[in-house]
Amino acid sequence: VYYGELVVIGYNGKLPTGNCGKLRSKFELKKRKIANSVKASVKYTIKAEVDKVILYYQSGVIDFVYCVRYGHFSAVTYEFDEDMDMYQIGRACDDFVDFQVLDTVPGAETALEQTALTHSTVSRYAARIVCSRHPPYRARLLAGAFDHNRNIILGNATCAQKISDNACDMDGFTRNGVLLLHPKNGFTAGSVPVWREISVCGKVYKIKDSRGVYESEQLRTEITNESNILTDGCLIDLCGVTLMWRSGYGKHEPPTKSVLDQVKLQISEMHDAQGSQPPPSLPTVSGSKPGEKTMMFVNTECGHIQGHYTWHADQNRKPLEERMKNCFHCKIVRPFVPVRFGLEPLIHQDFSSPTHVFSPCGHAIAEQTARYWANITIPHGSKSFKSICPFCGVSLCGYGFVRMIFVDDK
């Protein structure tokens, strides 16, 4: 049974360091041979230090401990749930994390660029997904994950609040928050995105004004008409990395890599079929075949396509990005960038011929895919949002995309 798949936004089919082990650009969730999930069993209120609480409850059951007002702890013991499978996500590299994720580095193409960060905002044990082992195989997102001691510890720097009149019945939030975006109207160009925060208990709340800020006295209102169930196209933000959920149903919609290889040839074929000639000094556009480096360039301001051209000797000594600034057709001064193709099929929203490119990176996609991602804003920093290219993580500029214009286009 296939539950779904998680895809890291900002990478084009693989990480710069390569897909190896648990550190990958995407991760499939399949039914386990033996259920490993847990459910709440007994709740306690204890006036003790965190370490004493952990030692007291390390008796073979899984512990969940979170803080309420500095030193007053609510502890929940868990028991195994034979009806659910659990998958844990985080930065930690150990046996208790199923899918290891690191901070996304926009535009990173090499392992050196990917590992240049010295500080990470992604939690070591960030979140967990529980999937029903029985139809309809629903998957749910919860904040926090169990560590190697089988504990979830939310300390004084996090927020907790009562969810009932029972003093033991508490809910908690991780420090930087686990955010969920449900694409209302589905994974389509007409979806209306709204970000919510998910708690440790899996409840849905309005996001805070600033991530990482401790709000001990502020009671947060639960949004009862929304749920933590993952639907096709959901985005999960872990403060530093954003994941996309494709359900088992959505898995059958994206094209295979062989189909994408054929799509990569369509742009040059369109140019050849038109029989158009480029202006003087402008070489014929040459599309890239699968496995070959592209020789096609696009101006991300006007959208005109042209090949790699050369200037006089002095200009040829300059880097390519400094030489290719002027559009021969409309005289707009803006650097040309190579036309690149989105190779991660699960990110595509529409799989017709690529007619547009993201600006400023130059990734070629279909119009509906361009409009969808230009309309999606990803959390950035503590309180801002921005639209990014889903294939490289670079911030989009202007309208976010531009239509490719060939020589004889009107």
Going by C-beta distance under 8 Å and a sequence separation of 6 or more, which residues neighbour residue 333?
A: 325, 326, 327
From CA 170, how far away is CA 200, in angstroms rounded?
10
Residue with tokens 């390390």: 58
Region of residue 27 (phi > 0: left; psi between -120 and 50: alpha; otherwise: beta): beta
**pLDDT at residue 27 greater than cutoff 50:** yes
Q: State residue 49's pLDDT score.
A: 57
Residue with more model confidence, 239 or 268: 239
Q: State residue 245's pLDDT score.
A: 96
Report which DSSP code applies to 326. B
Q: Is 235 exposed, middle or buried (0-12, 13-18, 19+ CB in 10 A)?
A: buried
Pairing, β 336-338 against β 356-358: unpaired
The residues spanned by each domain of the chain are 2-252, 257-403
Average pLDDT of the chain, as a whole number: 77
Q: State residue 70's pLDDT score.
A: 43
Pairing, β 356-358 against β 99-100: unpaired
Q: What is the pLDDT of residues 39-74, one digit of tens each?
A: 887 776 665 555 555 545 554 444 555 544 445 567
**pLDDT at residue 34 greater than cutoff 90:** yes
Q: What is the pTM of this model?
A: 0.84
Q: What is the pLDDT of residues 109-145, one digit of tens each?
A: 777 777 666 678 899 999 999 999 999 999 999 999 9
**Local confidence band at 92 (pLDDT 50, 70, 90 cut-offs):** very high
**pLDDT at residue 316 greater than cutoff 90:** no
Q: What is the pLDDT of residues 342-395, one digit of tens each?
A: 888 899 887 777 889 999 999 999 999 999 999 999 998 777 899 999 999 999
